[in-house]
Amino acid sequence: MLMELLYQSASSRPDEVALVYRDERVTHAELVDRVERLAAGLAAEGIGPGDAVALLLPNDPTFVTSYYAISALGAIVVPVNPAFKQDELEFYFRQCAVRAVISDDRSAGVCERIVAAWDEPAQVIPTSAAHGQALTLDMLMATDPARLDRRSPDEPLVYMFSSGSTGRPKRVARTHGQLRGESDYYDWMGIGPEDKIFCTIPLFHTYGMGCCMVAATRTGATHVMLEDPNPFLLRRQRALELIETEGVTIYPGVPFNFRLMAEAPASADLSSVRLAFSAGTALPRPFFDAFLDKFGVPVRQLYGCTEAGTLTANLDEDPVATFESVGKPVDGVEVLIEDDEGQLVPPGTVGEIAVKSPGLTSGYSDMPDLNKQAFRDGFFLSGDLGQLDEDGRLTITGRKKLLIEVGGYKVDPIEVEDVVVAHPQVVEAVVVGVGTKVQGEEQIKAVVVPSDELDERELIGFCQQRLANFKVPQVVEFREEIPKSPLGKILRKYLI
Amino acid sequence: MSVSADIEQFILSELTQGRGITEIDPSENLLSKGIVDSHGVMELVGFLEERYGISVGDEDLSPENFESVASIEGFVERKRNGQT
């Protein structure tokens, strides 16, 4: 269904720019041509409806092309963080039963090692033949283009993974209809073909996928991608230049990046930016003030989740007075605040945020028991805490779930614990977040009860092999026992 | 200790604590592998300025100068020689 939007843009404004990346400008017509060619190439390799295809790519036109080619075939996109280690990649690949992996050159080798051990190996398709692979994305792109059929709204389009309160991340399937539903929010926000959306956030994440890529597709706006956006400190000057030279009008970002831009010695004319959004974590007031003082642009908070995409946005006429709020629900979204018994609470009272939206998933894949707890009467119990004011503006006050915020990522301590306790010399372990000197940032600390003498570096190396770098504990504390309540509940507050 | 070894030692002891990294090849890409993030760059800049008496301006904060230990070494040498 998103493909129809690409066709509309290619028909109505074929020569206008859809994507900007480095010196490359891809028009709407060119983007459709690329998508059709790659889809035809993938189809020739046997990729079809229901097949899961992982994307291990940075933010670039190839990601966008691949995403739409895969989904237009009725196959399912599985965007994966390229920073993941082999064990994590294997988890995601197996969870989704991927049929193929489209990978950048850097990750192709590890992908091949993973799938080689499978009974039915998946196909690894690198972007180029850097390692002498027989089949590359470039080759598939040489296929003759073919018009793509409309997909059914109920067909799954993408598998994402959501952090949870227990165990490994949970698979979230969202359909063509749900992504199309989310895409309408951006049109409702007033984003249009004359807009230019600046992307510095990963497209493999729901925020980047929705607020940048899908938003551009739905509205016909130009999607301007910052190349190699991490670490952002080394790219902030380039980011400022791009915003100014391209005349960016919409900038979805994260708090830390807004802070870095405000602290940059050089300035830039950001007067073209009419909507700057911040999401992912709370926007500290000093960051908001610094960015506003320097550039005259108020950063508005936005709220969403992996399960539903964007949910609320602060489009208030007075973004300064309302800066703490993530805004009102976007068109079609309902937000309720409930107490622990599931009863609605009055405005001004904190409770759990429950949401219902056209973009909301039907549930976590293959987890019926969890779905009974997390979904009720069409609403999703987010695990976030917040309150509504008298005018319906939402403010996030905390999290019901235990997640550690590390460098912009939300790390599930249970996932890290599972890895730590898998070490043969670990009897018990608890993972907590501990504060650092940087506001809003935490470190991961593992409190471990060893069976006998255990070297910290060996334990860290064990984790390093199995977890992405940002999930590896930075602090290890050995104890003889973990503090618990009389009922056996772990007393995490004594471990921080 | 060479500049290269000095830089490697700083990164290992200050920026990759608890991550099981015991050595870094001079040509290894620190950025794409997530070995050094924005916070790490800030700390690295502080170290370079103090250790080598150079001034790192915002215009110097580029992937080309911080991509690898070898890149950083080259950057430091150019700074010390007044070439940048």
Beta bridge mates, A125: A102
pLDDT for the residue A289: 94
Please tell me the least confidently modeled range out of A26-40, A113-127, A161-175, A289-303: A161-175
Q: Does B63 touch chain A (CB under 8 A)?
A: yes
**Percentage of chain A with pLDDT > 90?**
70
pLDDT for the residue A131: 63
Which of A231, A464, A476 shows the shortest C-beta gap to B37? A231
Query: How close B46 comes to chain A (CA, Å)?
Result: 14
Query: How close B37 comes to chain A (CA, Å)?
Result: 5
pLDDT in tens, A208-257: 999 999 999 999 999 999 998 888 999 999 999 999 999 999 999 998 89
Q: Which long-range contacts (CB under 8 A, 24 or more apart) does A111-118 make?
A: A111/A54, A111/A56, A113/A86, A114/A86, A114/A89, A114/A90
SS3 annotation, chain B: CCHHHHHHHHHHHHHCCCCCCCCCCCCCCCCCCCCCCHHHHHHHHHHHHHHHCCCCCHHHCCHHHHCCHHHHHHHHHHHHCCCC
Count of CB atoms situated within 10 Å of the CB of A165: 17
Contacts of A465 in chain B (CB under 8 A): 20
pLDDT for the residue A47: 96
Average pLDDT over residues A81-86: 84
From first to last of the 84 residues of chain B, give the pLDDT tens digit.
Answer: 889 999 999 998 888 765 667 889 999 889 877 788 888 898 899 999 999 999 998 889 999 999 999 999 999 999 998 876
pLDDT for the residue A165: 44
Which of A266, A441, A470 shows the shortest C-beta gap to B34? A470
A282 — pLDDT class (breaks 50, 70, 90): confident
pLDDT in tens, A184-218: 999 999 999 999 999 999 999 999 999 999 999 99
Q: Is the pLDDT of residue A398 over 80?
A: no
Closest residue, chain A, to B29 (C-alpha): A106
pLDDT for the residue A241: 95
Contacts of B63 in chain A (CB under 8 A): 228, 234-235
Q: Does B40 touch chain A (CB under 8 A)?
A: yes
Contacts of A235 in chain B (CB under 8 A): 63
pLDDT in tens, A138-188: 999 999 999 999 999 999 999 999 874 445 688 999 999 999 999 999 999
Beta bridge mates, A26: A19
pLDDT in tens, A327-341: 999 999 999 999 888
Average pLDDT over residues A371-377: 90
Closest residue, chain A, to B61 (C-alpha): A234
List residues of chain A with CB under 8 Å from any CB of chain B: 83, 106, 228, 230-237, 256, 260, 264-266, 407, 438, 441, 456-457, 460-465, 468-470, 472-476
State the pTM of this model.
0.85
pLDDT for the residue A33: 98
pLDDT for the residue A92: 93
Q: Does B66 touch chain A (CB under 8 A)?
A: yes
Closest residue, chain A, to B18 (C-alpha): A474
Q: Is the pLDDT of residue A11 over 70?
A: yes
pLDDT for the residue A78: 98
Q: Is the pLDDT of residue A392 over 80?
A: yes
How far is CA A76 from each of CA A34, A141, A210, rounded to the nearest angstrom? 18, 19, 16
A31 — pLDDT class (breaks 50, 70, 90): very high
SS3 annotation, chain A: CHHHHHHHHHHHCCCCEEEEECCEEEEHHHHHHHHHHHHHHHHHCCCCCCCEEEEECCCCHHHHHHHHHHHHCCCEEEECCCCCCHHHHHHHHHHHCEEEEEECHHHHHHHHHHHHCCCCCCEEEECCCCCCCCCCHHHHCCCCCCCCCCCCCCCEEEEEEECCCCCCCEEEEEEHHHHHHHHHHHHHCCCCCCCEEEECCCCCCHHHHHHHHHHHHHHCCEEEECCCCCCHHHCHHHHHHHHHHHCCCEEEECHHHHHHHHHCCCCCCCCCCCEEEECCCCCCHHHHHHHHHHHCCCEEEEEEECCCEEEEECCCCCCCCCCCCCEEECCCCEEEEECCCCCECCCCCCEEEEEECCCCCCCECCCHHHHHHHEECCEEEEEEEEEECCCCCEEEEEECCCCEEECCEEECHHHHHHHHCCCCCEEEEEEEEEECCCCCCEEEEEEEEECCCCCHHHHHHHHHCCCCHHHCCCEEEECCCCCECCCCCECHHHCC
Q: Round to whole Å and give the CA distance between A76 and A176.
A: 10
Q: Does B46 touch chain A (CB under 8 A)?
A: no
Query: How close A264 comes to chain B (CA, Å)?
Result: 7
